[in-house]
Amino acid sequence: MSNRTFTMIKPDATSKGYTGAILDQIIKAGFSIKAMKWTKLTTEQAGLFYDIHRERGFFGELVEFMSSGPIVAAILEKENAVEDFRTLIGATNPANAAEGTIRKNFASSIGENAVHGSDSDENAIIEGDFFFSKLERF
Ligand code: GDP
């Protein structure tokens, strides 16, 4: 079990002004921020980040959406981080997300679902390394 996970606040949420409220919910849930940046992905970068979904029907839509505006990328720390963060964000489709979860509170659709959360310790490391150098994390 690792104590770190990786998140992005996605372009739908940054453009609606939800960044502060989402970070507040993350911090109040006990996660501490170990690295963070406000940035915007190119379509190439979004495609690489979501490479595992390249064969899925929604891949083009996903890449277009994820490169459509700014995102916040962050490495978060907490005991049992990956699993606890997935619980905090809720189901991929906000219609199925539990009450009080970030996606229930802030997401509008299965595609534009406000936040990303790593699905395994291994992917948390890969995804954190995608965005942050050693000098940018503490
Ligand atoms: P997650 O781990 O809960 O983020 O879900 P997945 O790994 O299954 O999918 C990755 C991301 O692809 C999701 O968070 C959505 O942004 C997007 N996505 C998943 N399913 C769909 C879909 O049916 N349509 C669209 N447009 N995007 C989707």
CA 95 and chain centroid, separation: 18
| Nearest of 137, 123, 136 to residue 50 by alpha carbon | 123
Say how many Å lie between the CA of residue 97 and the centre of ligand 1: 13
Q: Which domain holds residue 40?
A: 4-136
Tell me how far the alpha carbon of residue 110 lies from the centroid of ligand 1, in angstroms.
Answer: 6
Alpha-carbon distance values, 30 to 36, 86, 88, 103, 128 (Å): 16, 14, 11, 18, 19
The pLDDT assigned to 2 comes to 76
Q: Measure the CA–CA gap between 26 and 85, rounded to whole angstroms.
A: 8
Helices 81-89 and 121-131 pack at an angle, to 10 degrees, of: 80
Q: Residues near ligand 1 with C-beta < 6 Å?
A: 58, 61-62, 92, 110-111, 113, 116, 119
Catalytic, 53? Answer: no
SS3 track for 2-26: CCEEEEEECHHHHHCCCHHHHHHHH
Q: How many domains does the chain have?
A: 1
Residue 1 has what pLDDT? 56
> Average pLDDT for consecutive 10-residue bins of the chain (138 residues)?
92 98 98 98 98 97 98 98 98 98 98 98 98 95
Cβ-proximal residues to 100 (8 Å cutoff; 6+ apart), any chain? none
Residue 87 maps to which CATH number? 3.30.70.141
**How far does the centroid of ligand 1 lie from the alpha carbon of residue 32, in Å?**
25
